[in-house]
Structure 1
Amino acid sequence: MLDTSLQTPPQTAVPTMQRVRGRALVVMGMNGLKDLHQSGSAKAMLPRVHTKVPEVVFLNTSGGLTAGDQLDYTLEVEAGAALVGTTQTAERAYASVAHGADADVSVRLIAGAGARLDWLPQETILFENARLNRRTCAEIVGDARFVSVESLIFGRAAMGETLQTLHLRDRREIRRNGRLEFLEPLEIDAALLAARDHAVTLGGARAVATIGMFAPGAEALADLVKQTAQEGVSAGVSGWNGKLVIRAMAPDGYPLRRYVARVLKQIRGVDLPRVWQM
């Protein structure tokens, strides 16, 4: 009779989880599309639009980000051309295992001399225990105009979510002719969330956004933007040396989204891409 109690118990294998690997690249020239690459879960769609400026809509087909995922987006508009880039929906950063790897997202944006590039992704929604490391780098040349927005939502108010644990590193940098024009490093962890109601942290906000315009004369729009108001949203506006920067916060994502949409229409003079459903 076999006595299994004397045998060494088998080692329990740690399952290898499948991770997202995605890369999408679009290059637009004066006469239309110059290059297109997409692989893994990253897709780049070019919808038919009724304006002179083409649009690129990036999509992560995995439905969200978690530990160890990697996404890489590149958007380039050549000298004299124009392009609007956005995302198909809000990106979601889901829970990762304790002390697990970060989800890693890299966004590279390039605008040649005389070009117009608008980077208008929809919100990033962060869930409890999310770990996200994102870096957005823009390289603009000469008199190119660059408009960008980044919105973060810390849990969904409608679902009663209040985040307690999170690890977010979100670095944004903009260079013109190789010279650093704007740098915004952001890091949020459990310690900061515990002090979220303090005026020097989140001020009790659940949603925050940064809007920027970098172009000759952009600072002249500051007074116009200062007149824009949205119930429940507090915002600060700065304009100087060809730069316009707006930072806003709100207790929920919806009023912030409405404010962001209004400001973007003011400074761009045109409607948002159709995927931005209000």
Structure 2
Amino acid sequence: MFDAKIQTPAAVEMQRSRGAARAAFSGARLTGLHQSGSAKAILPRVPGAAEVVFLNTSGGLASGDRLSYKTDLEDGAKLVATTQAAERAYRADGGQAQVEVHHNVGAGCHLDWLPQETILFDRAKLARDTTISLAVDASCLMLEAVVLGRIAMGERVQDLQFFDMRRIDRAGKPVFFEPFLLNSNILAKGARSAVLGEARAFATLVLCQQGAEDAVEPLRAVLDEPGVEGAASGFDGKCVIRLLARDGWPMRRQILRLFNTLRRGEAAPRVWQI
């Protein structure tokens, strides 16, 4: 029996998560709701603009996962869309996880797309594509915030594949287009000022609406959170804010202060409140 051939077990194929959630609004009325797989859309009752909170029930993104969020606004709808918690991209043993976000903002409508931070763990592989399509007179506020590991847990991110495409179109023409790549080769170059320096958390906020340039000076006046480096610029109906921080916590506090200015004193979504 000692001469019997040992059978090598076949590689185990891990189960992958799939999720898609969509919410549609006409004015203040919900006109469509779809959710499948791990993606859910929660509709809290809040005063003012309608609100939708997207949730990934799988608990995070791993190799081969697919996630999609979408909203459609028409007839002057005003919507705040956010996520229930920080999204996490875990170590990937195979292919990349993929996230697609698409918002259609119709005539006279406004969208605040304010997802909570994306936390990238070591050896994560994530490709994300975010597109906001605006009608001629529509407007939006978009946030993307990323944290490389959790400093409080002693985590360091050295091996990574992260590609993030961010687009805002108006009447089919691009007004903001930003492909972002961060991978192991870039991280291996160390703390270079042309990349992230010593920062391990970074964010971009973009306001697209008529007169958005007027927000630049008020925003610069509140870019003084300790531990956060920030800058704001505005032109041609856009205002863009960039943030760098060594940790996600001070960056989150800075973002909340910027919300107060960008959203004219309206309270941040409850899931964002400290």
User: What is the TM-score normalised by the length of structure 1?
Assistant: 0.95
User: Are the counterparts in 1 of residues 28 and 78 from structure 2 also a CA contact under 8 Å?
Assistant: no
Q: Among 32, 37, 53, which residue is 1:35 paired with?
A: 32
Aligned to 1:102: 96
Deviations 1:204-261 (A, max 9, x none): 1010000010001101100111111111111111100100000110010001001111
Aligned to 2:240: 245
Are 2:88 and 1:84 aligned? Answer: no
User: Are the counterparts in 2 of residues 196 and 205 from structure 1 also a CA contact under 8 Å?
Assistant: no
Aligned to 1:138: 132
Deviant stretches of 4+, over 3 Å: none
Q: Secondary structure at the match of 1:128?
A: coil
Amino acid at match of 1:130: A
Amino acid at match of 2:29: G
Deviations 1:160-206 (A, max 9, x none): 11211111001101100000111111111112112241110101101
Q: Secondary structure at the match of 1:15?
A: coil
Q: Among 197, 200, 204, which residue is 1:203 paired with?
A: 197
Are 2:145 and 1:151 aligned? Answer: yes
Deviations 1:53-112 (A, max 9, x none): 110000000100000000011012113110100000000000011xx2000000001101
| RMSD (CA atoms) | 1.1
Q: Among 44, 67, 71, which residue is 1:71 paired with?
A: 67
Aligned to 1:260: 255
Q: How far off is 1:31 after superposition? A: 4.2
Q: How far off is 1:35 after superposition? A: 0.3
Cα distance in 1 for partners of 2:90, 2:273 equals 23
Structure 2 unaligned runs (5+)?
none
Q: Among 157, 160, 164, which residue is 1:163 paired with?
A: 157
Aligned to 1:53: 49
Cα distance in 2 for partners of 1:150, 1:252 equals 15
User: Are the counterparts in 2 of residues 167 and 189 from structure 1 also a CA contact under 8 Å?
Assistant: yes
Amino acid at match of 2:251: L
Cα distance in 2 for partners of 1:203, 1:69 equals 31
User: Are the counterparts in 1 of residues 134 and 171 from structure 2 also a CA contact under 8 Å?
Assistant: yes
Cα distance in 1 for partners of 2:82, 2:42 equals 10
The alignment covers a number of residue pairs equal to 272
Aligned to 2:226: 231
Structure 1 unaligned runs (5+)?
none
Cα distance in 2 for partners of 1:67, 1:243 equals 36
Higher Rg: 1
Are 2:110 and 1:116 aligned? Answer: yes
Amino acid at match of 1:223: E
Deviations 1:111-143 (A, max 9, x none): 011101000000000101000000001100011
Cα distance in 2 for partners of 1:225, 1:42 equals 34
Q: How far off is 1:271 after superposition? A: 1.2
Aligned to 2:13: 16
Q: Secondary structure at the match of 2:218?
A: helix
Cα distance in 2 for partners of 1:41, 1:161 equals 27
Are 2:121 and 1:127 aligned? Answer: yes
Amino acid at match of 2:83: T
Cα distance in 1 for partners of 2:55, 2:190 equals 31
Aligned to 1:93: 89
Q: How far off is 1:10 after superposition? A: 2.6
Are 2:257 and 1:271 aligned? Answer: no
User: Are the counterparts in 2 of residues 80 and 113 from structure 1 also a CA contact under 8 Å?
Assistant: yes
Amino acid at match of 2:207: M
Amino acid at match of 1:184: E
